[in-house]
Each structure stands twice: as C-alpha cells, then as structure tokens.
Amino acid sequence: MANHRADRMSEDIQRELSAIIREMKDPRVHDGILSIVRCDMAHDLSFCRVYISSMNGLDTAKKAAAALKNAQGFIRRELGTRLKLRYAPVLAFEATDSIEYSANISRILMDIDLPEEDSTDSSL
C-alpha cells in the first residue's frame, strides 16, 4: 500500500531543500549547478535520503554532499520551521551523476544525423 503522506512530505522537503541550499553561504554548495534529484522518505517520516547531482560532475556533487552533511543541523532546523514539523527527519545526502549522465545522452542524441525526408510527395 502506498504511503501518500510520505510522498507528499518528500515533495515538500525537496522543494524546501532547494530553497535552503540557495540561501546557504558555503562555497562547496555553490561550486556549480546543484540539483536535488530525488528524496526518499521513510514511511514513519523519521528519515529522508536526499540524492543530489551537479552539472560539473560527480566529484563536485560529492563535495556538496559533504558540505550538506556538515550543515545537517542547520538544514533540519530550517526544514522544521518552514514546514511546521514537530520532528524534522534525519537527512542523508548522497551524490549521483544523473545530471551529467542525462546531458551526455542528450549530446549523443543531438549528434545523430538523421536523413532528411522529401517534403514533396511523388505519388500524387
């Protein structure tokens, strides 16, 4: 059975985390374009795994994940006040390379040369 409350909370946390990250002053977080790819929330709302990615690659995302882990107390407090939660979930930040991967796929698709079809119909 799907837990709709956890899904809604996951979306809210993802939205608020992106706003909190924009307001942070740590240069490791602002090193490149940082994106929150996905938030996986536990069913009891006590734990949230946050997947982040960077356009500059996996190394930059790992540095940003380490910076966010160091600022976890600040982030949890901000989440609790912004979302009006009694207990803010414990956050675990993990770096992924999904933005870089999708940019590579897009680059490959753009490089494919497709033959052009004639716009005139010769059968008429």
Gap between the Cα atoms of 51 and 71, Å rounded: 16
pLDDT for the residue numbered 90: 94
Gap between the Cα atoms of 100 and 77, Å rounded: 31
pLDDT for the residue numbered 3: 75
pLDDT for the residue numbered 15: 94
Gap between the Cα atoms of 95 and 51, Å rounded: 6
4-105 homologous superfamily: K homology (KH) domain (3.30.300.20)
Output the tens digit of pLDDT for each of the chain's 124 residues: 457 888 899 999 999 999 999 898 888 887 778 889 999 999 988 999 999 988 888 888 899 999 999 999 999 999 999 999 889 999 999 998 877 777 788 888 888 877 777 656 555 5
pLDDT for the residue numbered 26: 84
Nearest of 38, 42, 37 to residue 5 by alpha carbon: 42
pLDDT for the residue numbered 2: 55
The helix (run of H) or strand (run of E) holding residue 16 is helix 4-23
| pTM, two decimal places | 0.77
pLDDT for the residue numbered 1: 40
Gap between the Cα atoms of 50 and 41, Å rounded: 9
